[in-house]
Amino acid sequence: MPRPKVFRIGLSAADREFLAKLTTSGAHPARMIMRARVLLELDENAGPVADRAVIADRVAVSVNTVLAIAKRFGETGGDVLATIGRKQRELPPVPSPVTGEVEARLIALACSRPPEGYTRWSLRLLEKHVALTDGVPDLDHSTIGRVLKKRNFVLI
């Protein structure tokens, strides 16, 4: 006996027409077309809906994908475009440790005289001195190199 449907999908005629047109014409991302096909298969207003496993076989996806698309349709409040489109990331996964102030202090350090015993700054030497500087986060030598390269700064 199949499980009762938790997420019910009922598309309007305009939504059905939009999804049918999207799947058959134009150039769209493959994931978007796949999600649109799943929504068309899950639409209860078009007639009886097959089991999730049957729909998954028809669209060539897993049963979990069918469930995830149905769940997302419910979470978006029935918005078809939000369901088939990509979710936009709200924030980058890790904020950059290099801010304008850090960048300015790093360039000021690179412009200063190298320490005793050295004729010029190297990226690794800058890395050591940045670690000793208060108010500046510890930066890797590759990060320091990227910051300096971005500003066309050459260590001489």
Q: What is the pLDDT of residues 41-66, one digit of tens each?
A: 888 877 788 888 998 999 999 999 99
**What does DSSP assign to residue 65?**
H
For residue 153, the SS3 value is: coil
Distance CA 52, CA 62 (A): 9
112: amino acid identity, one letter: S
Spell 34-43 as b/e; 16+ CB within 10 A means b. Answer: bbbbbbbbbb
Confidence of residue 2 (pLDDT cuts 50, 70, 90): low
Which tokens go with 57?
């076989």
Confidence of residue 3 (pLDDT cuts 50, 70, 90): low
pTM, rounded to two decimals: 0.59
pLDDT > 90? residue 9: no
- For residue 1, the model assigns a pLDDT of 54
Distances (CA, A) of 23 to 32, 72, 153: 9, 19, 51
Which tokens go with 26?
């134009």
In the block, which residue shows the tokens 């202090």? 105
- For residue 88, the model assigns a pLDDT of 81
